[in-house]
Amino acid sequence: MKLLHIDASLRAEGSASRALSAFFLEELRAGGLTLDIDRLDLAEDPPDHFGPVHAAAIYLPVEQHTEEMKTALAASDALATRVLAADALVISTPVYNFGMPSALKAFIDHVSRSGLTFSMTETGIVGHLAGKRIAILASAGGNYRPGAMFDGLDCLTPHLRAIFGFLGAAPDIILAHPTTFEGPEMKAQAIREAEDAARALAQTWCAG
């Protein structure tokens, strides 16, 4: 399986989301999958945020692109190509300020491209990621469970479901929480529950 593995946490050490994605990959290997991994660490290699040149270029036919536009979109084209070349995506991300890190949002902006990852047709939008498996392993310091402090404030998972659904895929999202604000026992329980869910998801992938 050709797999694009993306980590978005700014923390190189002690990141619950990075640890969860590593656990998921080990479960895939333990289940017998051979992985050809394309690695992207958004903390070490963050994409540029879209600017005026990018914005102007994506609304013009390719033949009308200036040299400046071609240069600006080169990295975006390359990221979209990596996504399209993968059989599956494994994305790990923390919840920052109720949503995703800015580097992950920038990545999504780069790979959500008309004519590349989706097409606008007379009958509607056609996403080009249909058939790809997508696992999103997320962690949050706060508690988003019903009745808890951050109940109703999870903007990460609905956003990611909407984006990848638009692109034609249905991601599986596992959120470990709370990992910081409610003590070591709650963190241990959250990690244990997330690992159980990740193990079950890996078994589903391995079963075909």
Opening angle at CA 17, ends 188 and 12, nearest 5: 110
Helix (H, G, I), strand (E, B) or coil at 47: coil
Any binding-site annotation on 76? no
Any binding-site annotation on 99? no
Opening angle at CA 4, ends 48 and 57, nearest 5: 35
Any binding-site annotation on 21? no
Q: State the distance between the two ends of the chain, measured CA to CA, in whole angstroms.
A: 11
Name residue, tokens 């404030």.
153
Any binding-site annotation on 141? yes
Any binding-site annotation on 103? no
Any binding-site annotation on 92? no
Any binding-site annotation on 114? no
**Residue type for position 62:** V
Any binding-site annotation on 142? yes
Backbone phi, then psi, for 169, in 5-degree steps? Answer: -120, 160
Structure token digits, residue 117: 């990852």
**Overall residue count recorded for the chain in this entry:** 208
Task: Name the binding residues for FMN.
Answer: 9, 15-17, 139-142
Task: Name the binding residues.
Answer: 9, 15-17, 139-142
